[in-house]
C-alpha cells in the first residue's frame, strides 16, 4: 500500500519534467493517489509532459490571475474527481525587474504581479478548492526560505516571506475545516523558474558546499517526497509548518 492510497489530489505547476510538481505527480501516482493537473499557458505542452507520468492524468487550465478560472475550478475538477484530499501549490513567477540585484528600483506594478502569482494565489487556490474538501485534507505549497535576504532573489524573497505568513493565516482559518496547510522550503533546483533568475548560479555554486547532507540541484525528488508526506495521513496534527528540504543549509551559519 502506498502512503497516498485512495487520495484524490490536485497538482498545479507542472511545466516541464524538471518541475518540482512533475516529481510530486509521478510519486503521488506511484503511492496510490489519483491526480488531476492544472496547467498555465500552453496546455498542449503540459499535456505532452503529463503523458510521461505513469498514468496520464487530466489537465485543466488555471491561471491564478484569472478569477473566472478560479471561480470555475471546483466544478472543472469535480468532472474528474468526486472530492479532494490534497492540493499542491507549486506556482511562482516574478517579472525580471524583481530579480537579480535590482531591488531598489523595481516598480510596484512588477512587485504586485510577483505577489499576486506567488503569494496571494496560495489563498485563492485553497479557497477555490474548498467546496471539494468537505472531509478535510491538506494543502501544500513550495517555499524558498524567506528568513534572510539572499543574493539576487530580491522581490521574490519578499513574495516568499508573504507566502510563509499566508500559510500561517490559512492554517488558522482552514483548521476548523479539518484542512492542514504547510510549506516545503526547498533548496535551489534547476527548473524553468530557477533558470529565469539572473545570477541563480550563485546558489548553484554555494549550496552543495554549505549543505551538511550535500545537495543535488537536479533532483526534485526530496522536495516532492516531503510534499507527499505532508499530504499523507502521517502528519495529522501538523499545520502552519515549514519543512526545510535543503540539505540542511537553513540550520548552518554562513
Helix (H, G, I), strand (E, B) or coil at 39: strand
Q: What is the CA radius of gyration of the chain?
A: 17
The region of 9-17, 29-37, 79-87, 169-177 touching ligand NAD under the rule CB under 6 A is 9-17
- With CB under 6 A as the contact rule, the residue among 15, 25, 98, 140 that binds ligand NAD is 15
Look up residue 83 and give its three cell numbers. Answer: 472530492
Minimum distance from CB of 156 to ligand NAD (Å)? 7
Interface with ligand NAD includes 157 (CB under 6 A)? no
Minimum distance from CB of 62 to ligand NAD (Å)? 5
Minimum distance from CB of 29 to ligand NAD (Å)? 18
| Given the residues 120, 123, 134, 153, the one annotated as active site | 153
| Given the residues 7, 120, 134, 160, the one annotated as active site | 160
Q: Which of residues 57-76 bind ligand NAD (CB under 6 A)?
A: 62-65
Contacts of 60 (CB under 8 A, 6+ apart): 36, 37, 38, 39, 73, 76, 77, 80
Chain-centroid distance of CA 235 in Å reads: 18
Specify whether the CB–CB gap between 145 and 244 falls below 8 A.
yes
Smaller CB distance to ligand NAD: residue 86 or 92?
A: 92
- With CB under 6 A as the contact rule, the residue among 4, 73, 87, 193 that binds ligand NAD is 193
Checking phi first, is residue 152 left (phi over 0); if not, alpha (psi -120 to 50) or beta? left
Amino acid at each position: 500500500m502506498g502512503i497516498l492510497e485512495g487520495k484524490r489530489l490536485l497538482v498545479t505547476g507542472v511545466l516541464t519534467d524538471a518541475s518540482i510538481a512533475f516529481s510530486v505527480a509521478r510519486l503521488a501516482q506511484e503511492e496510490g493517489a489519483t491526480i488531476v493537473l492544472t496547467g498555465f499557458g500552453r496546455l498542449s505542452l503540459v499535456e505532452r509532459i503529463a503523458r510521461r507520468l505513469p498514468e496520464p492524468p487530466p489537465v485543466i487550465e488555471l491561471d491564478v490571475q484569472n478569477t473566472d478560472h478560479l471561480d470555475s475550478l471546483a466544478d472543472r475538477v469535480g468532472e474528474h474527481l468526486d472530492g479532494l484530499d490534497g492540493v499542491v501549490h507549486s506556482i511562482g513567477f516574478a517579472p525580471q525587474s524583481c530579480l537579480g540585484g535590482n531591488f531598489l528600483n523595481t516598480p510596484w506594478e512588477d512587485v504586485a504581479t510577483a505577489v499576486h502569482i506567488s503569494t496571494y494565489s496560495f489563498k485563492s487556490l485553497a479557497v477555490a478548492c474548498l467546496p471539494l474538501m468537505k472531509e478535510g485534507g491538506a494543502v501544500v505549497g513550495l517555499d524558498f526560505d524567506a528568513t534572510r535576504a539572499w543574493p539576487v532573489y530580491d522581490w521574490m524573497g519578499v513574495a516568499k516571506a508573504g507566502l510563509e505568513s499566508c500559510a500561517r493565516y490559512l492554517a488558522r482559518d482552514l483548521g476548523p475545516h479539518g484542512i492542514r496547510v504547510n510549506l516545503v522550503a526547498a533548496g535551489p533546483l534547476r527548473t524553468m523558474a530557477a533558470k529565469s533568475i539572473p545570477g541563480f548560479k550563485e546558489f548553484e555554486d554555494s549550496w552543495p558546499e554549505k549543505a551538511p547532507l550535500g545537495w543535488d540541484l537536479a533532483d526534485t525528488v526530496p522536495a516532492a517526497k516531503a510534499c507527499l508526506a505532508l499530504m499523507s495521513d502521517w502528519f495529522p496534527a501538523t499545520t502552519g509548518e515549514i519543512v526545510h528540504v535543503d540539505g540542511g543549509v537553513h540550520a548552518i551559519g554562513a
